Structure 1
């Protein structure tokens, strides 16, 4: 009686092992000729199909072995000839000649011709079953356009069975890693803050698993890189001004650059600061004209809204005096300016919101600088042409000046400002023109401003001069 009980128990154990798909017990090992190394251990399968399906389900590649029918030794699955003996059983041969001999002997004995089976055929069958039974995962992102904000990955999982678990993780991960890793998905989406590959895992109530990865590469939260320098030619300790060369780089492109006097943060430049003009020549470098010693801040913003600031300290600029100073250049056309030569005296100046004074050879250059470079001038002045040398403090606010065209035969330049002279009142202008004040025809300021927006001769001249200097 005990003999039959032991035999019945063995049959039950073997049956359970086969129904479970794979088993690493020694009892199951005695009944199968298929094994794999899984997580460092030998695992036995009821057939090659189950092994290949398990590989797909776990998302891993296992070391696969089968038992040679002739020698009973374990050999690599990829190296054998597979012979199908019935609908559910295969046998394996290390040598194809042994397989052919077995097939011939079987036909002689039972008058049945056995067939060889290609491993790829079994792999295809396993893949088809996996595609049909494992959960389907579709991933897409909230935007594929470049952005400096987080990106949402939307997840859609469907299955012919009930999906019991969905997780996500950073990186490319196989299904077997999600047993103790990953974050449980909520609301069918997750948010990522940086570029990289992300994997989603789904499990149904039959134990079928699937992973799907997506790569996010459109997040750019890196601010522009600003480099500031002073050219060696500007190292003169007695200089009246210095150029600050600005070089800004960014992967998505720079859309705005400003500067200000003093140590400023990015918040300052929301509605303040002087804009640095875009380059008009590929060989040029952006530049700022420093007219006094101290700290200067440069601000840059890229096309995605990432912002950065960089400071540089300037020293060695001598104090400017209107009477004796020479060597000043117009900020726009770079014409040399003086105070005593009526043919080269600067005829316009402006003060920006930082209190810095900018000098120009003429009113046209001043307004062109304000418009083209978006410099925030708070006060603008023109020189009183009726004043005599040394022309100290003879400035007129532009809105109060009477501006007329030059007199025939006039040889002065620089102070003319696109052929225009400026006076504090009508009598002064009339006296210069030699007419009554009723006959003075003055130029409207709004017409002068409008002209500077469309005429950039001064600016072009500046860049040509700088190009030669380089």
Structure 2
């Protein structure tokens, strides 16, 4: 009686193993000729189809072996000839000649011709079954445009059965990785948010145990701030000013550049700072003229709002005097203002919101700095042309000045104003022009300011004048 009970128990174990598809038991091992190395151990399968389906379902590639029908030795699946004996049964031969011999003998004995089956045919069938039964996953990013904000990955999972679990992980991961307890982040909604570029994998499991993973690559998050390099040319030894060379790089392109005197944080430049104008040619390397010692801060912002600041400390500049120092430049056009002619001095100056004074060779450069380069001035002045040379401290607020074009024959270039001269009153203006006060034709300040916003004519020379200093 005990003998029959033991036999019946063995039959039950074998039946359960076959219904489950594979079984790592000694009893089941005795009934199958298909095995694989899985998670470091030997796992047995009822047939090759089940093994190949398990590979797909777990998202892994296993070391697969089958038992040679002739020698009973375990050999690599990819090296054998497969013979199909019935709807779900296969036998395997290391040598194709042995397979042919078996098919011939079987034909003689049973009058049935068995067929050899290509492994790829079985793989295709397993894939078709897997695609039909495993969950379907579609992933879409909330945006594919470059951004410096988080990106939402929208997840759409469908299945012919009930989906019981959805997870996601960073990286390209097979389905079996998600089976480890505590691995992966559970998807409660149909989306998740990422803050860095990379590959992200989503996993879905249905109530039949079918699994699928799908990966998406995010490449459009840019949180890298521009790189700023500041330097002073070795050749720049002037004691009255120094050139700060600025090099700003970013993978996506620079949107804005500013500078300010003092050690400033990024937040300062939201509504303050002097905008750095683009270079006009390859030889124009110096972007900021430092007129006093101290810390200077340069700010850069790329096209996606990433911001950075860099500071540089300037020393060695002597106290500034307007006329008597050699090598002084207009802040915008860089025109040299030498002391060999006392008339070759600044004709315009302005004070910015930090209290720093900026000097210019003419009113056009001053307005150009304000409008084209984004600097904010609180007060603007021009020099009184009727004052006696060297005209050191004879400044007039622009709104009070009388501005006229120079007379025919006047040598205006390099003196004061570039086509425009400024006077404190109508009397001195009329005296200069040689006309009565009633016949003075003054330029309107608003027209001058508007002209410099859109027209740089007459200033093109500026980038060729100071080549020696480059």
Secondary structure of 2:181 counterpart: coil
Name the stretch that deviates more: 303-312 or 280-289.
280-289
Q: Secondary structure at the match of 1:259?
A: strand
Q: Describe how 1:377-456 pairs up with structure 2 within 5 A.
A: 377-456=377-456
Please say if residues 252 and 302 of structure 2, whose CA atoms lie closer than 8 Å, have aligned partners that are also in contact.
yes
Check the 8 A contact 1:338/1:346 in 2, yes or no: no
Q: What's the offset of the Cα at 1:298?
A: 0.2
Deviations 1:242-265, CA, capped at 9 Å, x for gaps: 110000000110000000000000
Unaligned runs of 5+ in 1: none
Q: TM-score, normalised by structure 1?
A: 0.96
Q: Is the 8 A contact 2:335 2:466 kept in 1?
A: no
CA distance in 1, matches of 2:96, 2:286: 76
Report the alpha carbon displacement of residue 147 of structure 1 after superposing the two structures with TM. 0.3
For each residue in 1:278-310, what CA deviation from the matched residue of structure 2 results, as whole angstroms up to 9, or x when unmatched? 123245436101000000000000000000000
C-alpha displacement at 1:107, in angstroms? Answer: 0.5
Deviation at 1:116, TM superposition (A): 0.3
Deviations 1:20-77 (A, max 9, x none): 1000101000100000000010000000000000000000000000000000000000
Q: CA deviation at 1:374?
A: 1.4
**2:165/2:204 contact within 8 Å kept:** yes
Corresponding residue of 1:153: 153
Q: 2:215 aligns to what?
A: 213
- Compute the displacement of 1:323 (Å): 5.1
1:366-414 CA deviation, whole Å, 9 max, x = no partner? 2122222112222211110110023231000111100112123323433
What secondary structure does 2:387 align onto?
Answer: coil
Cα distance in 1 for partners of 2:318, 2:155 equals 66
TM-superposition CA deviations, 1:137-193 (whole Å, max 9, x none)? 00000000000000000100000000000000010111011022676x121110000
Aligned equivalents of 1:283, 1:107: Cα separation in 2: 91
Change (3 A) 1:236 1:111: closer
Deviates more, 1:437-446 or 1:237-246: 237-246
- Do 2:345 and 2:416's aligned partners in 1 also have CA atoms closer than 8 Å? no
| Cα 1:466–1:79 shift into 2, 3 Å | farther
Could you tell me which residue of structure 2 aligns to residue 56 of structure 1?
56
Per the alignment, do residues 323 and 176 of structure 1 end up closer, same or farther by CA in structure 2, a change over 3 Å counting? Answer: closer
For residues 36 and 284 of structure 1, do their structure 2 counterparts lie closer, same or farther at Cα, with a shift above 3 Å needed? Answer: farther
> For residue 247 of structure 1, what is the aligned residue in structure 2?
247
CA deviations 1:220-248 (Å, max 9, x no partner) are: 001000000001xx666552111100000
Query: CA separation in 1, counterparts of 2:89 and 2:284?
Result: 78
Q: CA deviation at 1:336?
A: 2.0
TM-score (structure 2 length as normaliser):
0.96
Cα distance in 2 between the residues matched to 1:120 and 1:66 = 16
RMSD: 1.7
d(CA) in 2 for partners of 1:466, 1:121: 78
Query: Where does residue 142 of structure 1 map in the other structure?
Result: 142
Change (3 A) 1:467 1:137: farther
Query: Cα 1:114–1:323, aligned 2, differ >3 Å: closer, same or farther?
Result: closer
Q: 2:322·2:345 contact (CA, 8 Å) conserved in 1? A: no
Q: CA deviation at 1:454?
A: 3.3
Distance 1:407 1:50 in 2: 101
Uncovered stretches (5+) of structure 2, i.e. residues with no partner: none
Indicate if the aligned counterparts of 1:106 and 1:113 stay in contact, CA closer than 8 A.
yes
Which moves more between the two structures, 69-78 or 450-459?
450-459
| CA deviation map 1:88-121 (0-9, x unaligned) | 1110000000000000011111111000000000
Question: 8 Å contact 1:60–1:174 — kept in the other structure?
Answer: yes
Distance 1:49 1:155, change over 3 A: same
Aligned counterparts of 2:467 and 2:123: Cα–Cα separation in 1: 69
CA distance in 1 between partners of 2:284 and 2:411 (Å): 34
- 3-state SS, counterpart of residue 458 of structure 2: helix
Aligned length: 467
Verify the 8 A CA contact 1:276 1:286 in the aligned structure 2. Answer: no
CA contact (8 A) 2:336 2:466 kept: no
